[in-house]
Amino acid sequence: MSQSKVSRRLTQGMAPELLEHIYRPRLAGELVAAFPYFAALNGAHLVMLAKQGILTPATASRIAAALRRMEAEGPGAIEPDPALEDAYFNIEARLIALTDADTGGRLHIGRSRNDLSASLDRLRARDTLLDLLEAANSLRRILLERGAGFAEVVMPGYTHLQPAQPITFGFYLAGLASALARDAGRLLDGWKRLNLSPMGAAALATTGFPIDRALTARLLGFDGVLEHGLDCVASRDFAVELTAAAAQLALTLSRFAQDMFVSVTHEFAAVEFPDSVCGTSSIMPQKKNPVVLEHLKAKAAHVVAAFASAGGCIRGSHFTNTLDAHREGLAMVWPGLLEARRALALAGIAAATVEPNAPLLLARARANHSTATDLADLLVRRGGMDFRTAHHVAGAVVRALMDRGLGAHEASLEIVDAASQQEAGRASGLSAEEVAEAMDPVRSVASRSIPGGPAPAEVRRMVAAMTTALEGDEAQARAWRAALQAATEERSRALAELAGGG
């Protein structure tokens, strides 16, 4: 058996099974995904080593020129070799090939694959968090804008998928935006724990070289240094936290999709989607299938599975650098987070294109007895009843209407008084006009104007307040993007100066 390509401690080359089932499949997806992050990490580390005098100017210049060339070439210039284990050793091998072993090998002074891997995972998670946050903010804006536009489209509100009380379609969309604000808030809150640099922890016990951890952190756009060396390499809680936040976000989107999936059925016909977001059947010519909603519903399962996978792998690992926690533990995290991003894109299409069937929704809200609570409230206010007795009277009215095949809007004073006599032992004390107003869903919605209610003016007030909060979240995301860009530019300038401008 041949000698190991990466260690003189190991006297044998890698077993074919390890190449086939671990390193070859890992390298196939890792090299391209990790390359830009390794470029950033290598550049920042080199600038720091040169500034600290740990490398001679000549050595630093040669390495800088090689790193700039590698970045220009991209990962395609590297022939993947699974016998080198992973992306890091493949990238280092390319650096050494462009310089020499004595020069290229010096870049690894004061660091380890352990702190590199932890830092790379944070860089990748940071980009993913920003992508998710920006997509969530975009969806929030769509929901808020359309919520304001549909603030007067009265519809039945449902609990247990049964008619409950009248609301508006705009109220429903604004409610989703409210939930998404919390989902975005979890991403925002995670940033302060995520955007810290592990570089300098080395394997776990830091290094005896006089490195400058703060400088490396700044050049990578981190807000600061995660100090404890062991914690730096042992922990991937930031990735688990991000995946948990993404899972909750995906669950919100899945519930929206489920609502729309039912609403767009022929039987409900409550909303409609354009043909551009639907599919058809290979055999049934009449079919218009809501494919965007079916895929959106399922995406949450993938994100939740990613969270469960990470937790399962990390659960039995030691508190140090381990492959079960950090390689296997994050194996499903990255594709799971990608599914969350896709879910946001699909939800954006659905939210932007859905059209409520306003006349049908209003007719149903008038007929489906969802104004019964308003009648009970009226019996309390105008009829002098306690609420429980009023509840019984209103329930008896609904029963009488159902027995006669009548909708709520067809309730008469005679029916109400008969129910009141039956349940309260006296007439309701209401007028026919008051009964008609109580059973009107438009008036029902308008009466609910306290904070959080579905009255059109209140919906628009909430939308305005949520839009202001959204603008703050959007500004924060832009600021973080700008800070990362500034760090990239500083790092690039420093690397160019080291390379002599070449």
Catalytic: 160? yes
Catalytic: which of 2, 117, 119, 160?
A: 160
* Beta strands 271-272; 355-356: pairing state: antiparallel
Catalytic: which of 2, 61, 119, 281?
A: 281
Around 405, how many Cα atoms within 13 Å sit in the side-chain half-sphere?
0
Residue 379 CA to residue 393 CA, distance in Å, equals 9
Note the residue count of the chain.
502
Tokens of 448: 């609910």
User: 42: Cβ–Cβ under 8 A, 6 or more apart, which residues?
Assistant: 67, 91, 95, 107
User: 261: Cβ–Cβ under 8 A, 6 or more apart, which residues?
Assistant: 290, 293, 294, 297
- Decide: 151 and 460 in contact? Cβ < 8 Å: yes
* Residue 482 burial (CB count, 10 A): 10
Residue 378 CA to residue 385 CA, distance in Å, equals 9
Residue 77 CA to residue 403 CA, distance in Å, equals 78
Residue 296 CA to residue 281 CA, distance in Å, equals 19
Catalytic: 318? no
3-state secondary structure of 489: helix
Tokens of 427: 């007439």
Q: Which residues are catalytic?
A: 160, 281
